[in-house]
């Protein structure tokens, strides 16, 4: 029997995430043969240009999805935050495993907290959302574009003498960076720095007509995570979100029901709106919140 082929980006974090998914599948299906097929995406090749200028989220998944459609791989593993609001035709998200920590993390070159950063501190990030929210934490912060994997960004922080960089906590956790951190760090509260849509969650994608594979992958789906990120992605869909506008959303289960926060900024990084809602049911909240923020931003920027 041929091994099942899983495609993923050829980066240390992507490979680790794929290994995590394979381990989950083997927990429920036994020692099934699965082969990792590493792929290089356009987003991985064009590291010197800001994502907002070269096409956004799809640059990290286009080649992987093409391999799926051509049949050279059977399923794929992505960071959900890299997925556009609408899945490619002929494809489906078969499983979303339990979400890891959704927050952003500031890694410092010399200090150990935001308050200790020098005046006009230079912080590296490739995300418009993070750029907007960093200036919200401290007005004097200067943001510089920086891309690459965790190791590359840490190296660039040193070489370019940046005061800090911002990364997703989940990625750092998955590669074991927190086990032996090389620098002081501060994980940001999701209330003050609303994460990217789906941040911390993995997306397991396959062909929509491969019902046997869907059933195989569905066994590792986490229903609560799926419910919450579905609303976040509904929020993103309303805003036609990609990397061209600053946007973030986070839905969570509370003791009394659900809470969802949304963030939206304009392309010029001059105006932004944020809102948090509590609801007994989360269904439909994402779309409504997106519509409210879109209207509010239009009124604020007049």
- Candidates 164, 230, 176, 170; CA nearest to 201 is 170
**pTM summary value:** 0.90
Which residues partner with 144 through β-bridges? Answer: 124
Per the document, the length of the chain is 302
Residue 125 shares a structural domain with residue 263: no
Name the band, by pLDDT with cuts 50, 70 and 90, for residue 242. Answer: very low
pLDDT at 60 over 70: no
Residue 226 lies in a domain: no
Residue 9 shares a structural domain with residue 92: yes
Residue 41 shares a structural domain with residue 159: no
* pLDDT score, position 207: 97
pLDDT at 161 over 50: yes
Give dist(CA 141, CA 137) in Å, integer: 8
For residue 10, what is the domain's CATH number? 3.40.190.10
Q: State the pairing for strand pair 4-9/34-39.
A: parallel
pLDDT tens-digit readout, 9-50: 888 999 999 999 999 999 999 999 999 999 976 555 544 455
Give dist(CA 67, CA 47) in Å, integer: 22
Give dist(CA 199, CA 35) in Å, integer: 26
Residue 92 shares a structural domain with residue 209: yes
pLDDT at 54 over 50: no
* pLDDT score, position 253: 97
pLDDT at 213 over 60: yes
Residue 213 shares a structural domain with residue 66: yes
Residue 194 lies in a domain: no
Residue 44 lies in a domain: yes
Going from the C-alpha of 71 to that of each of 19, 68, 75, 187, 257, the distances in angstroms are 21, 5, 9, 40, 42
How many Cα atoms are found within 13 Å in the side-chain-facing hemisphere of 61? Answer: 25
* pLDDT score, position 13: 93
Which residues partner with 211 through β-bridges? Answer: none
Active site residue 163: no
Please give the residue that has the higher pLDDT: either 204 or 128. Answer: 204
Pair 234, 38: CB distance under 8 Å? no
Location of structure tokens 């990084």:
269
Residue 12 lies in a domain: yes
* pLDDT score, position 138: 87
Domain count, the chain: 3
Residue 170 shares a structural domain with residue 118: yes
Residue 134 shares a structural domain with residue 12: no
Pair 86, 93: CB distance under 8 Å? no
Residue 15 lies in a domain: yes
* pLDDT score, position 299: 63
pLDDT at 228 over 90: yes
Residue 111 shares a structural domain with residue 168: yes
**In 73-222, which ranges are continuous DSSP H helix?**
128-137, 150-159, 169-174, 211-218
Residue 248 lies in a domain: yes
Name the band, by pLDDT with cuts 50, 70 and 90, for residue 302. Answer: very low
For the ranges 65-74, 104-113, 123-132, which has the lowest average pLDDT? Answer: 123-132
Residue 67 lies in a domain: yes
Domain containing 16 equals 4-97+201-221
Residue 23 shares a structural domain with residue 75: yes
Residue 153 shares a structural domain with residue 297: no
Residue 211 shares a structural domain with residue 257: no
Residues of the chain with pLDDT > 90: what percent? 71
Residue 89 lies in a domain: yes
Q: What is the average pLDDT value for the chain, to the nearest integer?
A: 90
Out of 44, 74, 82, 163, the active site residue is 82
């Amino acid at each position: 029997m041929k091994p099942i082929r899983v495609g993923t980006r050829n980066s240390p974090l992507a490979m680790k995430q794929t290994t995590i998914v394979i381990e989950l599948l083997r927990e429920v299906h036994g020692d099934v043969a699965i082969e990792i097929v590493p792929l290089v995406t356009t987003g991985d090749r064009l590291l010197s240009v800001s994502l907002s200028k070269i096409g956004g989220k799809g640059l990290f998944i286009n080649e992987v999805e093409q391999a799926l459609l051509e049949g050279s791989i059977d399923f794929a593993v992505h960071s959900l935050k890299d997925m556009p609001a609408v899945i490619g035709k002929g494809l489906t998200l078969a499983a979303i495993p339990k979400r890891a920590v959704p927050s952003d993390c500031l890694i410092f070159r010399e200090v150990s907290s935001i308050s200790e950063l020098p005046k006009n501190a230079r912080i590296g990030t490739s995300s418009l959302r993070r750029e907007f929210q960093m200036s919200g934490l401290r007005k004097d912060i200067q943001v510089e574009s920086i891309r690459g994997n965790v190791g590359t960004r840490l190296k660039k922080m040193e070489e370019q003498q940046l005061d800090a960089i911002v990364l997703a906590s989940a990625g750092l956790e998955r590669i074991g960076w927190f086990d032996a951190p090389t620098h002081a760090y501060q994980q940001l509260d999701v209330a003050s720095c609303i994460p990217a849509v789906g941040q911390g969650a993995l997306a397991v994608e396959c062909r929509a007509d491969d019902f046997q594979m869907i059933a195989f992958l569905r066994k590792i789906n986490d229903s609560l995570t799926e419910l919450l990120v579905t609303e976040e992605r509904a929020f993103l869909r309303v805003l036609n979100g990609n990397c061209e506008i600053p946007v973030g959303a986070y839905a969570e289960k509370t003791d009394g029901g659900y809470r969802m926060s949304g963030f939206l900024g304009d392309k010029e990084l001059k105006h932004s709106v944020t809102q948090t809602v509590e609801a007994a049911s989360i269904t439909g909240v994402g779309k409504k919140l997106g519509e409210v923020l879109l209207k509010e931003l239009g009124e604020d920027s007049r």
